[in-house]
Structure 1
Amino acid sequence: MKPKGSLRKGAKMEFVLKHLHPVKIKEIKPIGNGDRVCLDMMSNFKSGHGLLVGSYNRSLFLIHCETMPNQFVSKRPARVNAGPVSMYVLCSNFTTKYLNELKPGDALFTVDSKGKTSVNTVARSKIEPRPMLLIRGTHRIRGSVIFKLLYSEGQDYFNGYRSIFHLKERKTGKPISVLDVEKYRNKQTNICADLDVETIVQDAETVPLVCRDGRPKSMKQLKPGDRIMAYIQNPELQSRHFGMAYEGFCLER
């Protein structure tokens, strides 16, 4: 059954560097055990590269390969400790799969913080119970983008996503109703929106995320206020059907 909206074939999609953003961490908290997927790839990752993985299609976080030294294990440059089984991962044809679906031979998209891309192929997937952490953050959206969405999608877009898309005045932080947005037509720089994003990772030293300066940092060292890299999907293409992005309403939270 096809969803409402127009499907877009994954093969025609492309990586857009300007959608790779630093997002601000708001909260990190333990959420119990889950089935973690660890991916061993056919080739070593290039320096600085990792996989785009996340809880939501709208935000895929850059999980770095295991090249950081620590006191527990040696470097494993062909491995990414990706996250729990239900997370999305970006494939080489720009569709997504659940981590649970991956098998040897699947080609995944890899990227670094500067936007350099490549493809790496799964050799083995390991699923094991491990303690998990929830990482919540926000991505700031400029006023000009808000008005572009308002004109192209209408007020229903903001009403549908109001639980994850928080309109406010940029300087004061005062919340703004979608009904009042039009008042800022001639002063678009005075408004912004915070988009809720999150992912889940294993609570382990071997899970580095990529910071805004391009350096990997173990999740054990991350804290609220830090900024880590994530791929923020086009707002018009936040929905997916069998891994393919399409234009249509789909609220993930």
Structure 2
Amino acid sequence: MNSSTDIVTDDITPLAAVPDAVSNTATQEQRAHFAWIDIRGTAGDERDALVQAAIHHRIDGIVADDVDLLRDLPPTVRRVFATTSPAVDADVATSVDIVLADHSGDDTNRIVDAGPSAEAGVHVVVSDADTLRHACETVRRAPWTLLTFTDPTKIPLEIVIAAAENSGGRTVTIVNDIEDAGIVKLVLEHGSDGLLLRPRNADDVGTLAEVIRPSADRIELTELTVTKVEHIGMGERACIDTCSLLEKDEGCLIGSFSTGMFLSCSETHPLPYMPTRPFRWNAGAVHSYVLVPDNRTRYVSELQAGQPILAIRSTGEVREVRIGRVKIERRPLISVTATTADGRVVNVIAQDDWHVRLLGPGGSVNNVTDLKPGDTLLGYAPPESRHVGLPITEFCDER
């Protein structure tokens, strides 16, 4: 140490010495994505608006180079003090949560010791193979690593995320805008732990909060009791091919009525005459509703390549997948009518063929041509009706 007020070490803190707050166990509990905003360079009303928006939208942290500003923040916001100095005053370290220091020049092994009350952060700019290697070393040893990537490719970020796996530290990646934030969040499925944005205005702060907010990852499925099965002749039906490989009990929610949809199975189960296609749903007739993100429905006939759709498992687990292709063809159709536990009548119309299946309790697979009254299927029965795909509480009689 240089003195009692200038705190610095010459080596990155080894993982064994990382505080308990970023131990492996704690890290697993805190792996939800979070966001920081950078208010350096702003002042007056603009800065106040950004700070208030961050507090209102429960943004995790605010980065500033003014320690007096950080002192005034409520405890719900992480105070991140950015500095270019290799040493920080002890009074500063006790006033903030993280001391974030730049790595520059040849001094790549230096990291600020933030003392007992704050944590150390390192800002690494990745611009070539050497700086990428340094970033990989840093994320394995530092409690916090802020990453700037100078090139548009996300491959360096993928490499750093892989290096950070099970390290105990956390990564925060600087993003250029909201669109970039959405991409960085998804890199290598897990993405960067945190995102740092320099917002243009308070609206950007709210949008950033939406980007990192976890989507609903479960849906409450209900049992449906089959009451009638009819062969109804020819019509157009759609196959939905996704850009993802689906599980054996995973499918989409589809139905003729917005107040009741059936869990349609993907083509993940063996067939005697063709290979399995674990990316496909033989969905249903073109008039059918399909559940998509944000609690919306779309008609099958409206779906297009690149759009998001929800994949749902028999346990109710939900994930978003992207459509790769929608294939509409004329085929014989079968109508399946069922009732919900509270007596509502629901319906689905699918291709009239043995290889089209609906899921039942426990992930049981039911060929539509073998269904009979009294069989139990899984579905979703929301209480609201729909208008232009959005839930609305109004009188609506679907039959």
> What TM-score comes out, normalization by structure 1 length?
0.70
Contact 2:216/2:318, CA 8 A, preserved across alignment: no
Contact 1:39/1:79, CA 8 A, preserved across alignment: yes
Separation of aligned partners in 2, 1:195 and 1:242? 22
Which residue does the alignment assign to 1:81? 282
Q: CA deviation at 1:221?
A: 2.4
5 Å-filtered alignment, 1:139-158, equals: 139-141=340-342
Separation of aligned partners in 1, 2:355 and 2:245? 16
Contact 1:137/1:197, CA 8 A, preserved across alignment: yes
Unaligned runs of 5+ in 1: 1-10, 142-193
Contact 1:68/1:206, CA 8 A, preserved across alignment: no
Separation of aligned partners in 1, 2:352 and 2:222? 24
State the 4+ residue runs in structure 1 displaced beyond 2 angstroms: 13-18
Contact 1:49/1:110, CA 8 A, preserved across alignment: yes
Contact 2:315/2:362, CA 8 A, preserved across alignment: no
- Distance change (3 Å), C-alpha of 1:104 and 1:247: same
Would you tell me which structure has more helix in proportion to its own residues?
2
| Bigger radius of gyration among the two | 2
Which residue does the alignment assign to 1:112? 313
**Per-residue CA shift, 1:210-247, capped at 9, x if unaligned?**
0112222221222221100010112xx1x212111111
**Per-residue CA shift, 1:63-93, capped at 9, x if unaligned?**
0100121222210000000011100000122
**Per-residue CA shift, 1:81-120, capped at 9, x if unaligned?**
0011100000122211000000001100111111111111
Give 1:217's match in structure 2, choosing from 340, 362, 366. 366
Which residue does the alignment assign to 1:201? 350
Structure 1 stretch displaced more, 119-128 or 209-218: 209-218
Structure 1: which amino acid aligns with 2:359?
Answer: V
Separation of aligned partners in 1, 2:354 and 2:365? 12
Which residue does the alignment assign to 1:247? 393
**Per-residue CA shift, 1:178-212, capped at 9, x if unaligned?**
xxxxxxxxxxxxxxxx2111111111122110011
Which residue does the alignment assign to 1:42? 243
Q: CA deviation at 1:16?
A: 6.3
SS at match of 1:27: strand
Q: CA deviation at 1:251?
A: 1.2
- Distance change (3 Å), C-alpha of 1:233 and 1:96: same
Contact 2:292/2:308, CA 8 A, preserved across alignment: yes
Contact 2:338/2:347, CA 8 A, preserved across alignment: yes
Contact 1:92/1:108, CA 8 A, preserved across alignment: yes
Q: CA deviation at 1:139?
A: 1.2
Structure 2: which amino acid aligns with 1:226?
Answer: D
1:134 aligns with 2:335: yes
Separation of aligned partners in 2, 1:201 and 1:118? 23
- Distance change (3 Å), C-alpha of 1:15 and 1:118: closer
Contact 1:37/1:128, CA 8 A, preserved across alignment: yes
Separation of aligned partners in 2, 1:233 and 1:16? 14
5 Å-filtered alignment, 1:58-73, equals: 58-73=259-274
Give 1:228's match in structure 2, choosing from 377, 386, 393. 377
> What TM-score comes out, normalization by structure 2 length?
0.45
Contact 1:94/1:109, CA 8 A, preserved across alignment: no
Separation of aligned partners in 2, 1:139 and 1:28? 16
Separation of aligned partners in 2, 1:110 and 1:221? 24
Would you tell me which structure has more strand in proportion to its own residues?
1
Separation of aligned partners in 1, 2:267 and 2:299? 21
Which residue does the alignment assign to 1:161? none
Structure 2: which amino acid aligns with 1:111?
Answer: I
SS at match of 2:355: coil
SS at match of 2:333: strand
SS at match of 1:65: strand
Separation of aligned partners in 1, 2:219 and 2:301? 27
Structure 1: which amino acid aligns with 2:245?
Answer: N
Which residue does the alignment assign to 1:91? 292
Q: How many pairs were matched up?
A: 187
Give RMSD over aligned pairs.
1.9
5 Å-filtered alignment, 1:160-199, equals: 194-199=343-348
Separation of aligned partners in 2, 1:24 and 1:72? 30
**Per-residue CA shift, 1:110-145, capped at 9, x if unaligned?**
11111111111110111100000010111122xxxx
Separation of aligned partners in 2, 1:82 and 1:96? 14
Q: CA deviation at 1:14?
A: 5.3
Unaligned runs of 5+ in 2: 1-212
